[in-house]
Amino acid sequence: MTNGKLTVIGSGDAFCSDGRFNSCYYVEWGDKNILLDCGPTSLAAIRKCYLDPMAVDIIVISHLHGDHIAGIPFLVLEADKADKRKKPLTIITPPDGERRIKEVSALLYPDAISMFQNLDIRFVQYNKNEALEIEGFRMKFFEVSHNPLVNPHGFRIEKDSKILGYSGDTGWTDNLYQIADNADLFICECNFYEKETLTHLNYKKIIAEQQNLKAKRMLLTHFGKESLAHYSKIEGEKAEDGKCIAF
Site residues (CB under 5 A) for Zn ion?
65, 67, 169
Nearer to Zn ion, 169 or 241 (CB): 169
Nearer to Zn ion, 143 or 169 (CB): 169
**What is the closest distance, in whole angstroms, from the C-beta atom of residue 71 to Zn ion in the complex?**
13
Angle of CA points 153, 156, 158, to nearest 5°: 155
d(CA 2, CA 28): 10
**What is the closest distance, in whole angstroms, from the C-beta atom of residue 20 to Zn ion in the complex?**
11
**What is the closest distance, in whole angstroms, from the C-beta atom of residue 64 to Zn ion in the complex?**
9
Burial 59-87 (b: 16+ CB within 10 A, else e): bbbbbbbebbbbbbbbbbbebbeeeebee
Nearer to Zn ion, 13 or 184 (CB): 13
At a CB cut-off of 8 Å and minimum separation 6, what does 80 contact? 115, 118, 119
DSSP code for 203: H
C-alpha dist (Å) from residue 176 to 103, 120, 162, 173, 247: 31, 34, 18, 6, 20
**What is the closest distance, in whole angstroms, from the C-beta atom of residue 170 to Zn ion in the complex?**
9
Nearer to Zn ion, 67 or 143 (CB): 67
**What is the closest distance, in whole angstroms, from the C-beta atom of residue 87 to Zn ion in the complex?**
28
Nearer to Zn ion, 159 or 221 (CB): 221
Which amino acid, residue 119?
A: L
Collapse the DSSP code of 7 into the 3-class scheme (helix H, G, I; strand E, B; otherwise coil) and give the result. Answer: strand
